Amino acid sequence: MRFRRLFRPRSDYLFGIASSLFAAFLFFAALTPATARAELSDQDRADLARVEVFLNGIRSLQARFTQLSEAGGIAEGDFYMQRPGRLRFEYAPPSPILIVATGRTLIFYDAELGQVSRLALSATPLGFLVADNFSFSGDFQVESVERQPGALFIKVFDTRRPNEGSVIMVFADQPLQLRQWQILDAQGKRTTIALFNVRTNLALDAELFRFVDPDPFGPLAPPD
């Protein structure tokens, strides 16, 4: 991870909510206990196969999102995804935050501070969402499958990094639709991203997934 400068303490409420998503990525790498594979039933395997087909059919996605913290904070904005390796969380004003995945790198930008932080996309718990080929039988394994009326909850973890934590994918069922995902930090606190007005397989502008460093000549600013 690269920092333009040291973080300054802030009381900005919206900043705290928006940055909680990026902070959750950082917690996983060092603190979360290892997870274990689930014992899958025949119904579990059938549902997972349906989800694989569904997700692999989505090559791009655009939606509004609402982000909720366990403490009750709310932020919102626009979300974009394109396979492979590209994401964009464009937070609505007055939040100054932008999060962009450019292919290999996840970038967190605070426009108010002019602060840029970088993390390898493969080291984050959402990297699997933009893999070129999504599969529960590969690197990403299932920790649990739960069902509620009209909803399916799948908790997954990366077998290459079993100490990095879990992501809960939440689907509406019949028809199958991705509605939200939840990231748990080392203390069990939850960050939820809920999607609305979802549109899939659009021709998205490549500039959405390009980050132009506001200080390209800074000493800690490698090219993206």
Domain count, the chain: 1
90 inside domain: yes
Sequence-distant (≥ 6) Cβ neighbours of residue 110 within 8 angstroms: 15, 19, 96, 97
What is the domain-level CATH number for residue 184? 2.50.20.10
User: What pLDDT does residue 217 have?
Assistant: 56
221 inside domain: no
137 inside domain: yes
61 inside domain: yes
Q: End-to-end distance of the chain based on CA atoms, in angstroms?
A: 13
Q: In this predicted model, what pLDDT tens digit does every residue of 177-215 receive, in sequence order?
A: 999 998 876 667 788 999 999 999 999 999 999 998 876
Average pLDDT value over all residues in the chain? 80
208 inside domain: no
Domain that holds residue 167: 13-202
Q: How confident is the model at residue 218 (pLDDT cuts 50, 70, 90)?
A: low
Cβ atoms of 136 and 152 closer than 8 Å: no
Give the whole-angstrom CA distance, residue 38 versus residue 33: 16
216 inside domain: no
No. of helices (H) and no. of strands (E), the chain: 2, 11
54 inside domain: yes
Helix (H) / strand (E) element for 124: namely none
Q: How confident is the model at residue 23 (pLDDT cuts 50, 70, 90)?
A: low
Average pLDDT over residues 65-80: 90
- Does pLDDT of 6 surpass 70? no
188 inside domain: yes
